[in-house]
Amino acid sequence: MKNFIEISQINPSEIESLIQRALEFKAGKNIPVYSQYPVAGLFYENSTRTRISFELAANHLSMPFIDVNPQTSSEAKGETIHDSLLTLNAMGIPFFIIRHQQDHLPAKLAQDLQHTNIQIINAGDGCHAHPSQALLDILTIIEQKPNLSTLKVAIIGDILHSRVANSLQQMFKALGIAELRLVAPKVWQPEQVAFGTLSDDLGTAVEDVDVIICLRVQKERLAENEKLDLQEYQKHYMLNEMHLKQARQDVMIMHPGPVNRGIEISAELVDCQQSFILKQVQNGVYARMAIFDALVQTINQ
């Protein structure tokens, strides 16, 4: 595996290897020392979970982590991101974690820099993809419900603008889960989806699923002409205790974070016994260690 850009570029056996490696790391087994491979993090959008867990993952593998602040770097003087990567690579950095508001920018950089030893890790690009989130999510699910061939999942929220929903569709498609229900108000339903069925009926969607994933209401991704009535959204789509009563007793409740309590999910459900939200955060460190490990194998081939 060279670069980590989107789940559809990774075959199912590679995904399974990443999951197994992440579980090994979680068990504290076979942790390599990669001190010769520095990593740079370039976050052009805010992040707590992804940025810190990539940094911790690098630390656990003894990889020096350099947090490049785009606001204080020479990009503020007009240097392009492409030239910044070449500059940092000349100092000996092969791995670059990039979060950016522009769809497909990590893929474009990986393509433009393919003849170098640079490897790009997509930490979320616009509305397009968030592949490491999909990996930590499937890791969290598999720990509880390993039989994916019978797994039923509902994803609720802004499917249209969600990079998390896009990467999860690709992940669930690759691993062949039984059913994916995508629930969104009509204005947030895309014309096409990679996997799953669309509906605007939350009540029916949660009835017999194994996992419910709530998405954050992303005000920053809505275009100026897209009106958002938060009260209407909350009334019809906020996951609450009534939905939990309708769902299976062992349903897992998940959310990629950051959570808007009381908007897409009630505060009580964030903290309830069936919530795996903090388990997702914990697994993010191991999933990201597995990603680094797979990319280092490519350098060593």
For the chain, the residue count is 301
Out of 48, 80, 102, 116, point to the residue binding ligand CP (CB under 6 A): 48
The footprint of ligand CP on this chain (CB under 6 A) covers a number of residues equal to: 9
Q: How far apart are CA 102 and CA 105, in angstroms?
A: 6
Q: Considering the complex, what minimum distance in angstroms separates the CB of residue 235 from ligand CP?
A: 25
Out of 40, 41, 44, 50, point to the residue binding ligand CP (CB under 6 A): 50
Between strands 179-183 and 197-199, the pairing is parallel
256: alpha, beta or left, given left = phi > 0 and alpha = psi -120 to 50?
Answer: alpha
Query: Which residues between 248 and 267 bind ligand CP (CB under 6 A)?
Result: 256-258
Closest CA to 94 of 69, 123, 65: 65
Q: How far apart are CA 168 and CA 134, in angstroms?
A: 5
Q: How far apart are CA 184 and CA 260, in angstroms?
A: 17
Residue 47 touches ligand CP, criterion: CB under 6 A:
yes
Out of 3, 84, 119, 133, point to the residue binding ligand CP (CB under 6 A): 133
Grouping H, G, I as helix, E, B as strand and the rest as coil, residue 152 is strand
Which secondary-structure segment (H or E) carries 39? strand 39-43
Residue 162 touches ligand CP, criterion: CB under 6 A:
no
Q: Which is nearer to ligand CP, 133 or 275 (CB)?
A: 133
Residue 124 touches ligand CP, criterion: CB under 6 A:
yes
Q: Which is nearer to ligand CP, 38 or 257 (CB)?
A: 257
Q: Which is nearer to ligand CP, 55 or 210 (CB)?
A: 55
Catalog residues that contact ligand CP under the rule CB under 6 A: 47-50, 124, 133, 256-258
